[in-house]
Amino acid sequence: MKRTKTVLTAVVLGTVMSLAVSGCTQSGGSGSGGAKQPTLAFIQGVAGDEFYISMECGIKAAATAAGAKVTVQGPTKFDPTLQKPIVDSVVASKPDAILVAPTDVAAMQAPLKAAAAAGIKIVLVDTTVNDPSFAVSQISSDNSGGGVAAFQAIQKAHPNGGKVLVISTDPGVSTSDARAAGFKSAVEKDRSFTFLGIQYSNNQPAKAAEIVTAALQKDPDIVGIFAANLFSAEGTATGVQQAGMGGKLTIVGFDAGPAQVEQLKKGTVQALVAQEPAAIGKAGVTQALAALNKQQVTAKIQTGFTIITKDNVDGDAKSAIYRSSCG
Amino acid sequence: MTTPVLEGRGLSRKFGFVSALDEADFEVFPGEVTALIGDNGAGKSTLVKALSGSLALDSGEIFFEGQPIVLSSPSQASLLGIETVYQDLALAPHLTPVQNVYLGRESMSRGIAGRLGFMNVPEMTNKSREAFEDLGATVRSLTAPVGSMSGGQRQAIAIARAVHWANRVIFLDEPTAALGVRQTKNVLDTIRRVRDKGIAVVFISHSMPHVIDIADRIQVLRLGTRVANITNSGTTMEELVGLMTGASTRTTP
Amino acid sequence: MNTTTEPELGKETSAIEAIRQKEKWFTRIVKMQAFQIFLVLLVLVVVFSLLAPDTFAQFSNLRLVVQNASILAVLGVGMTYVIITSGIDLSIGSVLVFSGVVSAIVMRQVGGDNWGVAAIGIAVSIVLGILWGVLNGVLVAKAKVPPLIVTLGSLGMALGGAQILTGGVDLRDVPSVLTESIGYGNVFGSIPLISVIALVVIVLGAIVLHRTRFGLHTYAVGSSEEAARRVGVRVDRHLIRIYALSGGLAGLAGILSLSQFSTTAIAGQSQTNLNVIAAVVIGGTSLFGGYGTIFGTVVGLFIPAVLQNGFVITGVQPFWQQVAVGAVLIAAVYIDQVRRSSTRRGNSQKNRKWPIFGRKSPPQ
């Protein structure tokens, strides 16, 4: 019994101490700010992801420049059941504005609407919800434009045209659907290219590989494949290798995290369409502060892309690679 | 002679190639204490398990009050009024003495509450306390888990439970093995009291003085077979040891 | 001789009992692990309240903490029963998703946005949960497959089934009667309805566990399956019922989740099973079976919930919550070990292995 109590006491004391430490840093931060320093909270779609970390870096830089304070929180998985409690807790901490990447268009609707009703300015970054009318601004990549950019990369490598294919993750994912649609519309404007359609890999590399080998069986003259996310790109490359077509066609991947850049450097993919998360973050801060200062806000902002290839990965495009820390 | 309340004829059971019971006979009479003795591995525990429904037999017949029966489960034996206190007690260690006494035979509340599964805890507590006091058992707490109690206390609870429910036959497998002097005396007194109620008691023990002290009849098992069935009058320890080890034989009562 | 000693011994028994009775209430509660962990929870609440009096210690905040713990609480009640039998149920998160998915599909097929449709959806979800639970129970009790393996298998089957039915795409057309009432509705002013439902489940679960024959048999099966079997408890049937209960509550949680999130969240809930198991164990329920309380489980759920909420509010990195909860979890199991070895006497349960790796099979 005595040992039992000792352990419990130790656990409690440990927790209390860690809290006390965190509390000190916390109160120090808010104490020095005086009356006017606005507080912002950034809620990521998933913690530890390079896309959101790069966005966090953009937010922090913009906030520091504007004299605002930022806290960052995120669920351990891209999962609304994990994100909702975090949103609720952030709302309870009463920040002036929240920048949030909702993990589900339906599930996050009510909690975020409630936050807006409580007087907090909401800026939706990257993803959105069913009815975003409560938000002061929505900022995201122009996913359709991303699809166009992906096609431009293929066009550049194969000026004579040919057949092109899209490997996406799952039907119903708004961002990748928009990318595929943008790609398709761009293909249809260039008569020399033929669009073979969109196939879904369910985010499994093996399935993507299967689809690609089958497609190459049928159409050995495919010149380019747009793989709309990481795992699709991996599987696509495997499929191309299996079909013995390595190097003959251009695979364009999406996003530019360390894994994707590794793929590019190894020659698995020939080009990457990089979003600009830092720009999204920066615009988010600008819009949030504008709303707080009762200035004009822009309801919808779309940011651009950078195309990364082997040629510019260590040069011009280096800054477009997503970061794993803001350091 | 009266009819045996429980009787086994030609009971056999093999475990692999080992015959734990080999054509063993056994009978117990109401109002008698029957001691079942034998060396380790003689088949005593197997016999008890077979006669209390815990173990299926390869062959042999069991009669209850003269009628042939098949004992397929311990609860069936319980319904006939046959209870067993096992060597390993078979109490649930996390439950209280009261819960152990009534486990599987809970008394339910009256009316709708009982239908919904609510138990009559006061009644179970009072009757358990009576059962322990009848036995003279020093059960220190009726609300602590039995796993936290000494071997003697747990033994007392297990015996009290069997006595509480048995109305025909009660098997006690080494009931005094874990007990101190006073508790042993309590158990032996209890056995006499149970016998006087007209219940048949089967007492399995390695302690020859206790056997001679309490048994009305002594049956000896050796290598799975009954080698002696004697009434306990003027029996000596030497004689019993001789029977158990096969040094002497005597088969008539 | 006999006649003089017996009444004396009897008196001794009752006398000791009477003394016990007096001190029993207080000391037993203090000794309960659930109570100690409750003190830890109180300390956490006090510390966070001192650190953030005008944000953490607000009714509106604590209301949301309770609301967010409600679905887990429903699952925790079933899990407490399962763990008391020395079993485990890893499938609850997947069963929740599966039941929610089928319920959403059925409600869409029936069409309309009224309580009739909602009632069908609720019934479908709970019945499907029970069916998964019965499957788990039969495999554990009759086929003697270890519960860890059985429920790991049904975890995959239920999740895979949900993905097959939907092609992996979340369904979001949940009737608004559900989202507006169960999901975000309030009673008595601002008490979330979903929390009231959870409270009803908790109270019923606790009454059945601590006051009825069903509860007693649950403890008995977990304490010593053999002892229960010998006195005629129908152990197999009881285990099937326990897993069915856990599955049925996962089905109920499925409809609660559907109402609260307006989506089937197929990719979600992947850690729900482990979070619920952690809460049950933190609350003092023994993984070895035979011991545990619903109260402890509820307290065990609020420790991670309060930690997360408090950390977010005080601006601590979210990862620290997992570190802290992990430490509390290990401490709780350690305490259980110490308690078990100090209360276990004699040799009645030597050689007991970690129960989740396999039930001890009955002799012969």
**For C231, which residue in chain B has the nearest alpha carbon?**
B104
Cβ separation of B147 and C222 shorter than 8 Å?
A: no
Residues of B in contact with C226 (CB under 8 A): 90
Read off the pLDDT of residues A162-212 as tens digits, 9 standing for 90 and up.
999 999 887 767 778 889 999 999 999 999 999 999 998 877 888 899 999
How many domains would you assign to chain B? Answer: 2
> Which of C183-187, C280-284, C344-348 shows the highest mean pLDDT?
C280-284
Q: What is the CATH number of the domain that holds A288?
A: 3.40.50.2300
pLDDT of C354 > 60? The answer is no
* β-bridge mates for residue B59, sequence order: B12
Interface confidence (ipTM) of the complex: 0.82
Q: Tally Cβ neighbours within 10 Å of residue A323.
A: 19
Same domain, yes or no: A9 and A44: yes
3-class DSSP state of C217: helix
Read off the pLDDT of residues B24-53 as tens digits, 9 standing for 90 and up.
899 999 999 999 998 888 888 889 888 988
Question: Minimal CA–CA distance to C267: which of B37, A46, B71, A280?
Answer: A46
Is there a domain that residue A315 lies in?
no
Same domain, yes or no: A148 and A264: yes
How many domains would you assign to chain A? Answer: 2
Cβ separation of C216 and B86 shorter than 8 Å?
A: no
Same domain, yes or no: A30 and A50: yes
Cβ-contact C245, C252 below 8 angstroms:
no
Q: Does B156 touch chain C (CB under 8 A)?
A: no
pLDDT of C359 > 50? The answer is no
For chain C, the domains span 54-335
pLDDT of A32 > 50? The answer is no
Is there a domain that residue A325 lies in?
no
Is there a domain that residue A296 lies in?
yes
Same domain, yes or no: A159 and A257: yes
Is there a domain that residue B196 lies in?
yes
Residues 163-202 of C with CB under 8 A from A: 167-170, 172, 174, 179, 183-184
State the Cα torsion B171-B175-B177-B180 to the nearest 10°: -170
Same domain, yes or no: B97 and B154: yes
Is there a domain that residue B86 lies in?
no
Residues of A in contact with C263 (CB under 8 A): 80, 104-107
Is there a domain that residue B39 lies in?
yes
Same domain, yes or no: A206 and A280: no
DSSP state of B107: P
Q: What is the value of pTM for the model shown? A: 0.81
Residues of A in contact with C179 (CB under 8 A): 110
Is there a domain that residue A313 lies in?
no
Q: Does C16 touch chain B (CB under 8 A)?
A: yes
Q: What is the pLDDT of residue C351?
A: 40
Cβ-contact A15, A22 below 8 angstroms:
no
Same domain, yes or no: A26 and A150: no
Q: What is the pLDDT of residue C11?
A: 43
Q: What is the CATH number of the domain that holds B20?
A: 3.40.50.300
Read off the pLDDT of residues B56-99 as tens digits, 9 standing for 90 and up.
889 999 999 989 998 888 888 888 999 988 877 679 999 999 99
Of C55, C168, C183, the CB nearest to A92: C55
Q: Tally Cβ neighbours within 10 Å of residue C42.
A: 12
Q: Does C288 touch chain B (CB under 8 A)?
A: no
pLDDT of C198 > 50? The answer is yes
Residues of C in contact with A88 (CB under 8 A): 64-65, 67-68, 309
Q: Does C52 touch chain A (CB under 8 A)?
A: yes
Q: Which of A31-35, B178-182, C75-79, C196-200 has the lowest mean pLDDT?
A: A31-35
Same domain, yes or no: A74 and A113: yes
Confidence band for A2, pLDDT divided at 50, 70 and 90: very low
Q: How many residues does chain A have?
A: 327
Q: What is the pLDDT of residue C3?
A: 39
Is there a domain that residue A42 lies in?
yes
Same domain, yes or no: B45 and B160: no
pLDDT of B18 > 60? The answer is yes
Residue type, A83: Q
Read off the pLDDT of residues A217-228 as tens digits, 9 standing for 90 and up.
999 899 999 998
Tokens of B110: 């009256």
When the pLDDT of each residue in chain A is averaged and rounded to a whole number, the result is 85
Burial class (CB in 10 A: 0-12, 13-18, 19+), A52: buried
Of C40, C309, C322, the CB nearest to A89: C309
Q: What is the pLDDT of residue C342?
A: 66
Residue A108 to chain C, least CA–CA distance (Å):
7
Q: Tally Cβ neighbours within 10 Å of residue C168.
A: 18
When the pLDDT of each residue in chain C is averaged and rounded to a whole number, the result is 85
Is there a domain that residue A317 lies in?
no
Instruction: Examine the fold and report which residue of B123, B138, B165 is the final residue of a domain before the chain moves on.
Output: B165
When the pLDDT of each residue in chain B is averaged and rounded to a whole number, the result is 86
Same domain, yes or no: B97 and B160: yes
Domain boundaries, position A162: 143-274
Of B138, B141, B147, the CB nearest to C12: B138
Alpha-carbon Rg for chain C in angstroms: 22
Read off the pLDDT of residues A103-144 as tens digits, 9 standing for 90 and up.
888 899 999 999 999 999 999 998 889 899 999 999 988 889
Same domain, yes or no: A247 and A293: no
Is there a domain that residue A122 lies in?
yes
Question: Minimal CA–CA distance to C294: which of C73, C72, C112?
Answer: C73
Q: Does C40 touch chain A (CB under 8 A)?
A: yes
pLDDT of C208 > 80? The answer is yes
Domain boundaries, position B37: 1-81+166-252
Same domain, yes or no: A122 and A156: no
Q: Does C232 touch chain B (CB under 8 A)?
A: yes
Same domain, yes or no: B160 and B170: no
Residue C278 to chain A, least CA–CA distance (Å):
16
Cβ separation of C231 and B54 shorter than 8 Å?
A: no
Higher pLDDT, C32 or C204: C204
Instruction: Examine the fold and report which residue of B134, B165, B196 is the final residue of a domain before the chain moves on.
Output: B165
Residues 62-101 of B with CB under 8 A from C: 73-75, 78, 86, 88-95, 99-100
Return left, alpha or beta for A119; rule: phi > 0 is left, psi -120 to 50 is alpha, else beta.
left
Q: Percent of chain B scored above 70 by pLDDT?
A: 95
Same domain, yes or no: A128 and A213: no
Instruction: Examine the fold and report which residue of B165, B191, B218 is the final residue of a domain before the chain moves on.
Output: B165
Same domain, yes or no: B76 and B177: yes
pLDDT of A68 > 50? The answer is yes
pLDDT of A33 > 90? The answer is no
Same domain, yes or no: A108 and A163: no
Q: What is the pLDDT of residue B147?
A: 86
Residues 240-269 of C with CB under 8 A from A: 257, 260-263, 265, 267-269
* β-bridge mates for residue A287, sequence order: none
Give me the mean pLDDT over the A141-148 stretch: 90
Same domain, yes or no: A126 and A169: no
Give me the mean pLDDT over the A30-59 stretch: 80
Q: Does B158 touch chain C (CB under 8 A)?
A: no
Same domain, yes or no: B58 and B4: yes
The CATH code belonging to domain C54-335 is 1.10.3470
SS (H, E, C) C142-199: CCCCCHHHHHHHHHHHHHHHHHHHHCCCCCCCCCHHHHHHHHCCEECCCEEHHHHHHH
Residues of A in contact with C342 (CB under 8 A): 1
CA distance C152 to C135: 12
